[in-house]
Chain A
Amino acid sequence: MLSRGFPLLSGVDLEVQRATLTVVTGPNGAGKTSLLRLLGGLDPLHSGDGVVAGVDLRDGDRRLLRRRVGWLGHEGSFYADLSVRENLVFAARALERPVGEVDGALSRVGLEHRSHTTTKQLSAGQRRRLGLAWLLVRRPELWLLDEPYASLDDAGREFFDGLLGEVLAGGATVVVSAHDPLRAANLVARTVRMVGGRVSA
């Protein structure tokens, strides 16, 4: 994987089992986000081999892979001038899911009272919750969560840990990037440490 000709990831050897939680840790610039983007088919694989959900990352149709992946980035992931509900309705219609699922997802993440608020008016933590609602509407096979605890308060973290447990019990695979190992007691996670674009442990 290259950025302006410079390899972002190098010598990464990683196998993730279905319906498990993997936490990728490491300092800033270690390549955590790049690895997650690669796994989601968001960026191309320039050398080496990789298969995610049966799709070859080099020669396969990354668009097919992306439809099976849920991405929660740390920047916020939505159309800022649409309301919370409009963003989710857009996702539901794009995926041909019943629009009725939107209200359930909003109440699940505790944003039902902000459903008509423009997304740019939400706090960072509320945008995180909206990101989770987006994933609940999508119900992907593979959840890729880039520093999901950022901007969440204690209640938000607790809610998020509970949600992760449900997702894993439902058979989805979750890969999380974080600066530190997961602290949640209810989750069994494999931790992978990255440094300088390589898996170190």
Chain B
Amino acid sequence: MIRVAWLVAVKDLRIEARSRVLLWQVLPFGVIALLLAGLALGPAQAGTSSAGPGLFYLVTLFVTLLMINRSQSLENAPGTRASVATLGLDPAGVFLGKALALTVELWVSGLVLLGGSVLLLHTALTGTLEALPSILVTLATLASAGTLYGALTQGGDGPATLLPVLTLPAFAPLLIAGERSFSAALHGGALWEWWVVVVVALVAYCAVGILLYGVLEES
């Protein structure tokens, strides 16, 4: 399982490095969305507003949905699905590999968007750095859940446009927990209880993905 996971993750990241979809398409979109959020808050509000973490996670949600679609579309190119199916890869390994690659991509996006929120939303640098570990774990959880739901919407005949509708109920608690822990790092407050929510969700989604990804692929 680990061997297959590593193989799939390296393959997905190599494709991303070659195609640069994240760099030239998704990240500019995310940064522009942050810029618009900063302009909407206005220069007087941006530094003092408590909306910074929420806006960061809102933009992260958009970026995550785009990257989940991208990750699944790699497998759904005409003919690729059938050829790769005949390799008989362990579905649990495929799930972990795709989730790992998506996690790395979301971490890169997250770091750029955090830099953007410091510059454009004027979130405090020290608080942002303090929130970084919780943000990385939240992004890993979003990647795990997203890989699972991505297979659900794109594995069979389901349209990819179902993805936002299906993922939102799953993502909402994660986004709220992420936003709360980011806010706690910026403005003070209990941080650990939100960490627990995100870590439990990460373990749960990984377990469900390992068990069910094969079923989703077959469907």
Contacts and interface: CB of A to CB of B under 8 A. Distances in A.
Interface size class of B (residues with CB under 8 A): 20 to 34
Nearest to A78: B80
Interface string B6-20: 010001001100110
Interface stretch (A64-72, A104-112, A192-200): A64-72
A75 B74 CA distance: 15
A69 B87 CA distance: 9
Contacts, number: 72
A63 interface: yes
A67 B14 CA distance: 25
Nearest to B6: A93
A151 interface: no
A73 B85 CA distance: 12
Contacts of B78: 73, 75-76
B176 to A, nearest CB: 36
Interface string B70-105: 000010011110110111110000000000000000
A122 interface: no
B15 A79 contact: yes
Interface in A38-54: 40, 42, 44
B59 interface: no
B92 to A, nearest CB: 12
A80 interface: yes
Contacts of A69: 86
B4 interface: yes
Contacts of B80: 77-79
Contacts of A80: 77
Interface residues of A, number: 34
A94 B82 contact: no
Contacts of A66: 85-88
A64 B78 CA distance: 23
Of the listed residues B74, B86, B88, the one surrounded by the most CB atoms of chain A closer than 10 A to its CB is: B86
B15 A81 contact: yes
A37 interface: yes
Nearest to B78: A75
A109 B65 CA distance: 40
Contact of B79 (A67, A75, A140): A75
Given A67-B88, A94-B89, A82 B14 contact: yes
Interface of B: 4, 7, 11, 14-15, 18-19, 74, 77-80, 82-83, 85-89, 157, 214, 218
18 contacts: A44-B218, A63-B214, A66-B87, A69-B86, A71-B86, A75-B78, A77-B79, A77-B80, A78-B80, A79-B11, A82-B11, A82-B14, A91-B87, A94-B4, A95-B87, A131-B83, A138-B87, A140-B86
